[in-house]
Amino acid sequence: MAASSPDKVALLSGNEAIARGAVEAGVQVAAGYPGTPSTEIIEALASIAEHLGIYVEWSVNETVALSLAAGAAFTGVRSLAVMKHVGLNWASDPLMSVCLTGIKGGLLVVTADDPGAHSSQNEQDNRIYAYLANIPMLEPAGPQEAKDMVIEAFDLSEKIALPVMLRTTTRVSHVSENVRLGDIPRDRRQARFEKDFGRYYLAGKTPVRRHMWQLEQMKKAEEWSESSGFNRLENEGGHTCVITSGVSYCYVKEALALLNVTDVAVLKIGVIHPLPKSRITELMKSFDRVLVVEELEPVLEVQIRALAQITGGSLEISGKMSGDVPRCDELNTDSVLEVLSCFLRKELVREETENRLPQRLLTMCPGCPHRATSYALKEALRRVSSEYVVMGDIGCYGLAALPPLQIIDASLCMGTGIGLACGMTRGGLDLPVVAVIGDSTFFHAGMPQLLNAIYNNSKITLIIYDNRTTAMTGFQPHPGVGKTAMGKQSVVIKPEEICRGMGVHFVEVVDPHDLAKSINIIEKAIAFNGPSVVVARRLCAIVELKQKGKERPYQVDLSNCTGCGICISQFGCPSIIWKNEATAIDPSTCNGCGVCAQICPSGAIQRAKVVRYGV
Ligand SMILES: Cc1ncc(C[n+]2csc(CCOP(=O)(O)OP(=O)(O)O)c2C)c(N)n1
C-alpha cells in the first residue's frame, strides 16, 4: 500500500483503492468513524500513515471527523473524511456549512452506502446529499475507477474550492480488482491559515453571499463534468440506451452480454452531480428509448426526465418511476437481467441454479460478554417486574434482541436508545425502562443523550456494554481503549467517570461473567430513584482470543445433566449444541468463559480436564 511503484498492479479492494488514491493524491489528514462498508479505508491509511508522514485518526463520530478534515483543508492541506451512509447524517451539519465557506486544500468526503441494508439500519441513498449540499459527487463502478476518481476529486476540489464527495456502495467497497498503481508524492504542504472573516465566519448575510459564490463555483464543476471521461457512452449507434452508474453499470454490462445484445448503447455516469446536462440532452436526441438502471432512489431518472422535457421529443423513458426497475434493495445481475429482458422484449432463457448458501442465524460469538450482560439484565428485570421495556442501540449487543435472549424491544440508530427510554417514561409508561448502549456508541452519540436524561431528571437505567472495542465494525479503538488508529498510546477514558462527572449518582461497574453480582447490581440500579448507570465491562471475546489464546473449554457431565435445556433455550451460546438427545459443548468453539456453568441449575457443566475435539 505504501510502496511508490508506478505502473505496478496490485489486487486491491475498493476501500483499499480509495486509500491508495488518497495517498497518491497527497492526502495529509484523514479522519473517519468506523462503519460498514467504509471501515477499511481508514484502517488501510492508518497502517501506513506513520511511514508516509500523514495523520490518520478514528474520530469519536462522523461530525467530528468531517470538522477535523475541514479544518485541515482550511489550512491548505489535502484531507479526507470517511464514513458509512448513516454517518453522513451526523456529518451533514458541517457538510452543509463547509460547502459555503469552501476550502483551500482539497477536501474529499467518502460516503459508503449500503443498498440492501446488509449491515445497516436503513438503505438511504446519499447521492441526494450531493444535491442538498450542492457539491460535486463521483461514483465509481470498481476499485480502479475508485482510485482514479479519488485523485481527480482532490484536483477538482481545489480547482473549485469546494468539498467533493465520493459515493461507493457495499459491492464497490468490498470487491477486489487489479489496480494500476501510481506515484506517491513525498513532499508535504505547509499548513497556513489565511484569515478571511467574510468567508469562514458564517453569520449575518455571509451565508447568502457565500451561497451565490457556491453557485458560481458549481458552474465550473458543470463545465468539468461535461468533458469528464467518467461519463462515457459505450456502444453508440442504436436507438436504445441504458443510462446507469456505479455497480449497476457492471450488472448492465453483464446482463447485456448474457442476453447476447450488442445494439444497445450504455451511458455510464460517473459524475452524479453535476450531471453533464448538455451532453445528455444532446445524446438523448439520437435515442427513441432510454432505460435508467440505478440502485435505490430514482436520482438520475428524475434528472433525465427533466432534461427530456427540455429536448421536447418523444423519448420513452423507463426506470423506477415507470415501475420497471425495483426501488428497494440492491440490484444484482439477475434482477437487472430480468429488467433488461422486459425492456428489450428479449426472452430470458435461464438455467435454474440452486441456492446452496446455508441460512445462518444472527448470534453473538461464543464467550461474548454481551450475552452474559443481557442474561443478567433479563434476570434482574424479571425479579423487579413481570413487565419492562428495554430500548436498544447499534452494535453487537443489539443481537440480544434476537432469540433466545430477546431482551431489546426497539432500536433506531446510534445513540437514540437513551432518548427513546426517556420519551417512554415522559409519555407516562409506568414500567421499569432500561436503555442499553455499547462503549463506542456511548462515546459517539450516547453522552449528550445521557446528559439530557440527567439534566431533565429522567428516571432510566442505562447499561453500558463495555467490551473495550468497537466490535461490530471490526475492533477499532475508541477513547476507552487507550490506543489511537495509528497505534499510539493514549489516555483511557472511562465511561463510569464520565457518567459520574455528568452527575449520575448511581454508577457501578460489573464483570458480566460474574453473573450473580451483575444481576444483583442491575437490580439495584433499576430500583434507584433517578438515572442510574451500570457499566458491564469485559473484553470482547474475539479480542481476548487474539491477545491471550483459547482457554480450556467447558464440557457437559451427562450423569448430572437433566436435559432441561436452559443453557440452549435461555442463554443460547452457539457452542452449546444438542447432540444424540443430550446437551454437549463443542470444544472447538467454546472459549471457556464459564458463564453457562453458572446458569446450569444441576451443576452439569464443568471445565474440561482433557479436551477431546470432535464431539
Ligand atoms: C452513524 C453511524 N456510524 C457508524 C455506524 C456503524 N456502527 C454500527 S454499531 C457501531 C459501534 C459498535 O461499537 P460498540 O458500541 O462499542 O458496540 P460493540 O459492537 O462493540 O458491542 C458502529 C460504529 C452506524 N451504524 N451509524
* Stated length of the chain: 615
Query: Which helix H or strand E contains 233, and what residues bound it?
Result: strand 232-234
* The pLDDT of residue 4: 73
Ligand 1 atom with least separation from CA of 394: 9
User: Quick check: 222 pLDDT over 90?
Assistant: yes
Residue of the CA atom closest to atom 11 of ligand 1:
395
User: Quick check: 409 pLDDT over 60?
Assistant: yes
CA of 439 to the centre of ligand 1 (A): 9
Residue of the CA atom closest to atom 22 of ligand 1:
35
CB 214 within 8 A of CB 262: no
Residue of the CA atom closest to atom 5 of ligand 1:
35
What mean pLDDT comes out for the span 496-521?
A: 98
User: Quick check: 615 pLDDT over 60?
Assistant: no
CB 589 within 8 A of CB 366: yes
Beta bridge partners of 180: 9
Residue of the CA atom closest to atom 16 of ligand 1:
440
**Tens digits of residue pLDDT in 98-125:** 999 999 999 999 999 999 999 999 999 9
CA of 90 to the centre of ligand 1 (A): 13
Q: Helices 447-455 and 495-502: crossing angle, nearest 10°?
A: 30
- Write the CB contacts of 353 (distance below 8 Å, at least 6 apart in sequence): none
* The pLDDT of residue 434: 98
Nearest residue to 110 (alpha-carbon basis) of 174, 38, 175, 54: 38
Output the ligand 1 site: residues, CB below 6 A.
Answer: 33-35, 84, 86-87, 90, 370, 394-397, 414, 438-441, 465, 467, 469-473
CB 405 within 8 A of CB 379: no
Nearest residue to 371 (alpha-carbon basis) of 518, 586, 161: 518
d(CA 290, CA 305): 10
* Position 397, amino acid: Y
What mean pLDDT comes out for the span 210-226?
A: 98
CA of 523 to the centre of ligand 1 (A): 27
**Tens digits of residue pLDDT in 329-341:** 999 999 999 999 9
CA of 166 to the centre of ligand 1 (A): 22
Q: Which of 60, 414, 442, 543 to mutate to test the pocket of ligand 1 (most atoms within 8 A of CB)?
A: 414
Share above pLDDT 70 across residues of the chain, in percent, rounded to a whole number: 99
CA of 442 to the centre of ligand 1 (A): 10
Half-sphere exposure of 603 (CA within 13 A, CB side): 0
- Strands 289-293 vs 316-318: parallel, antiparallel or unpaired: parallel
Q: Which long-range contacts (CB under 8 A, 24 or more apart) does 199-207 make?
A: 199/101, 199/102, 200/74, 200/101, 202/97, 202/100, 202/101, 206/100, 207/100
Burial of 73 (0-12, 13-18, 19+ CB in 10 A): buried
Phi/psi at 29 (nearest 5 deg)?
Answer: -135, 130
* The pLDDT of residue 313: 77
* The pLDDT of residue 3: 79
What mean pLDDT comes out for the span 489-506?
A: 98
| pLDDT confidence bin for 358, thresholds 50/70/90 | confident
Ligand 1 atom with least separation from CA of 397: 21
Residue of the CA atom closest to atom 15 of ligand 1:
438
User: Quick check: 614 pLDDT over 70?
Assistant: no
d(CA 257, CA 249): 12
* Position 383, amino acid: R
* The pLDDT of residue 158: 98
CA of 235 to the centre of ligand 1 (A): 44
Query: What is the chain's mean pLDDT, rounded?
Result: 95
Range of weakest confidence among 106-120, 223-237, 301-315, 321-335: 301-315
DSSP label at residue 523: H
Q: Per the omega criterion (within 30 degrees of 0), is the bond before 495 cis?
A: no
CA of 61 to the centre of ligand 1 (A): 10
d(CA 265, CA 233): 7
Share above pLDDT 90 across residues of the chain, in percent, rounded to a whole number: 92
- Write the CB contacts of 327 (distance below 8 Å, at least 6 apart in sequence): 296, 297, 298, 320
d(CA 78, CA 565): 59
CB 441 within 8 A of CB 35: no
Residue owning grid cell 442463554? 571
d(CA 324, CA 508): 57
CB 341 within 8 A of CB 259: yes
SS (H, E, C) 51-99: HHCCEEEECCCHHHHHHHHHHHHHCCCCEEEEEEHHHHHHHHHHHHHHH
| pLDDT confidence bin for 352, thresholds 50/70/90 | low
d(CA 396, CA 465): 9
Nearest residue to 399 (alpha-carbon basis) of 443, 369, 357: 369
Q: Alpha carbon 58 to chain centroid distance?
A: 14
Which residue has better confidence, 36 or 313? 36
Ligand 1 atom with least separation from CA of 89: 1
- Write the CB contacts of 152 (distance below 8 Å, at least 6 apart in sequence): 138, 228, 230
DSSP label at residue 426: H
DSSP label at residue 568: I
User: Quick check: 612 pLDDT over 70?
Assistant: no
Residue of the CA atom closest to atom 10 of ligand 1:
395
Query: Which helix H or strand E contains 252, and what residues bound it?
Result: helix 246-258
Phi/psi at 537 (nearest 5 deg)?
Answer: -110, 120
- Write the CB contacts of 40 (distance below 8 Å, at least 6 apart in sequence): 13, 15, 16, 19, 173
Q: Alpha carbon 52 to chain centroid distance?
A: 27
What cell was used for 385? Answer: 417486574
Q: Alpha carbon 597 to chain centroid distance?
A: 36
CA of 570 to the centre of ligand 1 (A): 26
The three-state secondary structure class of 464 is strand
| pLDDT confidence bin for 281, thresholds 50/70/90 | very high
User: Quick check: 613 pLDDT over 70?
Assistant: no
* The pLDDT of residue 431: 96
SS (H, E, C) 122-134: CCCCCHHHHHHHC
d(CA 416, CA 615): 43
pTM over 0.85: yes
CB 14 within 8 A of CB 143: yes
What cell was used for 244? Answer: 446507469
